[in-house]
Structure formats: C-alpha cells, structure tokens
Structure 1
Amino acid sequence: MAQGEFVHAPRKIAFPPSIDVQTRLLILGSLPGDASIKQGEYYAHRGNAFWQLIGDVLEEDLRGQPYAMRLKRLRAHGVGLWDVIESAERPGSLDSNIRGAELRDLGLFVERLPALRAIGFNGKTAALHGRRQLGERPGLALVDLPSSSGAYASLSREAKRQAWGALRDHLG
C-alpha cells in the first residue's frame, strides 16, 4: 500500500452526550478513540490528559475517581461532553485518519441547552467542524483548546493546562 493511502476501516460510532439542562460549558471533542470506544468512556486512553486538564480547571481531582463519578462531578459544575462527529471510518485513533465523517447537528443541539454560555473545542478537528456548523452565535463563546490527546505533543502538558484555564471564565 502506498504512503497516505486510506485503509478501509469499520465505522466508529460516538457516544451520547453527557449533559443536563444546567450545562453552561460544553466541551466538544472529535470522535472517541479506540481505547474510549473499547471502555465505553470519554477520554479513556491513559495518555489523554483530558481528566487532568478539566480537573485543573474545576480545581478538583477527577482522574482518581470512577468514571460515573467523573461525569457526575462535571455536571455538578455545569460542564457537558459530546463530540462533533456522529460516526466515521477511522483506522486507529488519530483524527487525521478520519474519513466519511457524519457530523452531528450542533446548531439544533445547542438551542436545546438553555443555560449554555460557552463551547470548548478539544483540538483542531473539533474546532474546524464545530465552528463551521455553529458560525457566530451571540451570547455563546467558542473557545479553541489544544487537544488533550497524548498524540498532540507539540505543546507541553503545562502549556495545555494554561490554555485550558481559559474555561474558568465560563463556569460562573
């Protein structure tokens, strides 16, 4: 197979949203990776810094808690999770390998969240698809975040932590 040639892969399906009517901040990823799909949990790969980064934002240790408690604590802080892609073909977990993406209807979705004030895009792929769908929305801040993925190594964990700290402004 030639370099850059796409290997046909099974279609991967994203998770349902983790939200409630009090969600003020929605963090959108692209599509769960293989470890997350296998475990049925958002950001399950041990090299993904998501739970540490969002825990730093919330000033709460989420990494050591069971998954169900992590989601409960996010909701208690008004934070929801979802992905911009409903399904796609992707060998492995890299966003650069996503093909045939079926996008979610984000415009309709955010209209159903009355308390929503901000959306944080976890990585470039989420920001690209999310911003394209949402456009400018008065009263809704759109925040591009460096990917929490361990595969995105061009920024240090500390630089990611500082960038993610911008989310604190949207929690109150």
Structure 2
Amino acid sequence: MGEYTHIVHGFEPVFDKHSRVLILGSLPSVKSREAGFYYGHPRNRFWAVLAALTGQPKPESTEEKRKFLLGAGIAVWDVIAECDIIGSSDASIKNVIPAELSVITAVCPNIAVFANGGTAARLYGKYQAEKTGLPITALPSTSPANAAWGLERLTAEWGRLMVGALSDGREQL
C-alpha cells in the first residue's frame, strides 16, 4: 500500500476581505504539492467546475487561479495543517493537526463554508466546526478518484448547493 509520510501543509490560504465562500479540501494531493498550488492534479475537476459556474475561462497558471478565486469571492484552504498520509489517500490520513481557520474567519466572519468531498467535511466536523461556529455543506469531490461523478453532474450539484452563497455583486455561483 505504501509508506506513511508526515506532511506539513505548504500553501497559504487564498482569501481576502471580499471572500464570501470558503472551499475546504482535506490536504493537497501529491500532484498539487508538486505543482505548488491547490487542485494541481491535471484530472481534478475543481477549476473546470468553478469556471463553468462563474462563466469565466478556466484559469491555468497559479497567478490566474489566485486572481480567479479572489475575483469570484472564493477562499480556498484545507482542514489539515499537518498529518501522516500514504500518497494522496484521504482514507489513510492519521495524526491530524488541524489548520487554524480563524485566519480566514476573523476577516470573513459570515463566510459560507463548503467541503470539497466527504473527508474534508468529516474532518471539519471533528476538528473545526465547534471552533468556527459555522456550518459546512459537503460538496461531491472534484478529485479524479471520484470517477462516479462526471464534470456535468459535479457542476450541476455544486451549483445547486452553492446557489446564493455569494451576495456582493461578484460572479454568482
């Protein structure tokens, strides 16, 4: 199955005072860590889903992705600051040290929180919900491991669950 590796999250959260939506993953995958930014696996549908929902072109570079998120009022981070994991397998995660989400919630106290996948939602419930006091909505994972959900179905479900989450006149999901 592979060896456990201790991973320290290496990315800063992406957010600003205009962020209205926070999308939390569990921990960046091996491919994302290699790419140096969130959702860096070429088959992850995260960027395609958000592009479809906002009507914007799919961003390619890290700078385009950061600008895309901030322009749409979307914050991105992960529930985990450190853990032991085998490869990119969420099922293998153990010895979790949660991220300090107050970095975002102090600036954006009324942010709508969404989890990209069941593991992120479960870990948020275990480590974060009581601290933030904010409810979370679980979205189906955009990971290529979630092969049962095609891009069209993912986009429709994300759109259905995120309707109205942005309310400041920016691109609407």
TM-score, normalised by the number of residues in structure 1: 0.85
Runs of 4+ in 1 over 6 A off after TM superposition: none
| 5+ residue gaps, structure 2 | 168-173
What does residue range 1-172 of structure 1 map to in structure 2 within 5 Å? 7-63=3-59, 65-106=60-101, 108-114=102-108, 116-132=110-126, 133-135=128-130, 142-165=136-159, 166-172=161-167
Q: Give RMSD over aligned pairs.
A: 2.2
Instruction: Report the CA distance shift for 1:17/1:137 in structure 2 as closer, same or farther (over 3 A).
Output: closer
1:137/1:127 Cα in 2 relative to 1: closer, same or farther (>3 Å)? same
Provide the secondary structure at the position in 1 that maps to 2:75.
strand
Give 1:115 deviation, angstroms: 6.0
**Which residue is 2:171 aligned to?**
none
For 2:6 and 2:136, the matched residues in 1 are separated by: 32
Paired with 2:73 and 2:43, the residues of 1 have a C-alpha distance of 25
Preserved contact between residue 26 and residue 116 of structure 1 (Cα < 8 Å): no
Distance (Å, rounded) in 1 between the aligned partners of 2:105 and 2:88: 30
Give the aligned length.
Answer: 165
Task: Give the structure-2-normalised TM-score.
Answer: 0.84
Q: Tell me if the contact between 2:105 and 2:132 (Cα under 8 Å) persists in the aligned partners.
A: no
- Contact 2:79 2:123 (8 Å CA) reproduced: yes
SS at match of 1:102: strand
- Identity within the alignment, %: 30
The answer on whether the counterparts of 2:15 and 2:74 sit within 8 Å (CA) in structure 1 is yes
Letter in 2 for 1:85: I
Question: How far did 1:157 drift?
Answer: 2.3
Give deviations 1:102-142, integer Å, cap 9, x for gaps: 11133x3453133643111000111011133214977x552
Report the alpha carbon displacement of residue 159 of structure 1 after superposing the two structures with TM. Answer: 1.7
Question: Contact 1:58–1:168 (CA<8 Å) still a contact in 2?
Answer: no
